[in-house]
A and B are shown apart, each in its own frame.
Chain A
Amino acid sequence: GEDVEQSLFLSVREGDSSVINCTYTDSSSTYLYWYKQEPGAGLQLLTYIFSNMDMKQDQRLTVLLNKKDKHLSLRIADTQTGDSAIYFCAERSYGQNFVFGPGTRLSVLP
């Protein structure tokens, strides 16, 4: 079946850029999403990108999609301590349910 993979941990210094990577297997993925989960909370939709796009920028967030390699990345510019959280990559094909990755725990060091 479909699979979404992410590295489990990432540490960065405050003020640096963070890049969280994700790979997926379903070539028919229509939409790809990034969710953020803060401690003790549910998942919050951060941003999404349609499969016919290469890049999407939203303030400090930049999403890059390489469809050929089935690779998705989330770049957070000027990372702050409030960005410390678990980030989930998810993909969805038309008519199907979401498939979530295992999540990347981002730690921001002062």
Chain B
Amino acid sequence: NAGVTQTPKFQVLKTGQSMTLQCAQDMNHNSMYWYRQDPGMGLRLIYYSASEGTTDKGEVPNGYNVSRLNKREFSLRLESAAPSQTSVYFCASSPTSENYGYTFGSGTRLTVV
């Protein structure tokens, strides 16, 4: 039972480079989310997908794009990385967008130099 799988676990980028963070869940969940975690700031929602085929902006979407490739997979893309995007990124999923706790992946630690 893998749950939510994120790749890569660690990444170092130079300013201006692009990359895609991958997330896949095997629990047949409808909703998926991308968060970033910064010290003392908790988790901030970047983008979410309430169901396959839909995506919406969260609290801090600037500089990011997402793709809900299918029900299992939800990717996060940084087109031109900036040092301010240095963070730990978490993907999460839930059965629906209502009233359920999330299942989180183990995170991707991204450093932009």
A100 contacts B43, C-beta separation under 8 Å: yes
Asked if B2 lies at the interface with its beta carbon under 8 angstroms from chain A, I say no
A31 contacts B104, C-beta separation under 8 Å: no
B98 contacts A94, C-beta separation under 8 Å: yes
Asked if A28 lies at the interface with its beta carbon under 8 angstroms from chain B, I say no
Number of residue pairs A-B, CB distance < 8 angstroms:
50
Q: Given A45-B101, A94-B98, A97-B48, verify A88-B43 contact (CB < 8 Å).
A: yes
Q: Given A43-B90, A97-B45, verify A102-B102 contact (CB < 8 Å).
A: no
Q: Given A97-B45, A102-B40, A102-B41, verify A42-B99 contact (CB < 8 Å).
A: no
Q: A42, A94, A97, A100: which contacts B42 (Cβ < 8 A)?
A: A100
Report chain A residues within 8 Å CB of B48.
Answer: 97
Report chain A residues within 8 Å CB of B4.
Answer: 42
The interface of chain B, by Cβ under 8 A from chain A, is: 4, 33, 40-45, 48, 58, 90, 92, 97-99, 101-107
27 contacts between A and B (CB under 8 A): A4-B42, A8-B40, A30-B99, A33-B101, A40-B106, A42-B104, A42-B105, A43-B43, A43-B90, A43-B92, A43-B102, A44-B104, A45-B102, A45-B103, A92-B99, A95-B98, A97-B33, A97-B45, A97-B48, A97-B58, A97-B97, A98-B45, A98-B102, A100-B42, A100-B43, A100-B44, A103-B42
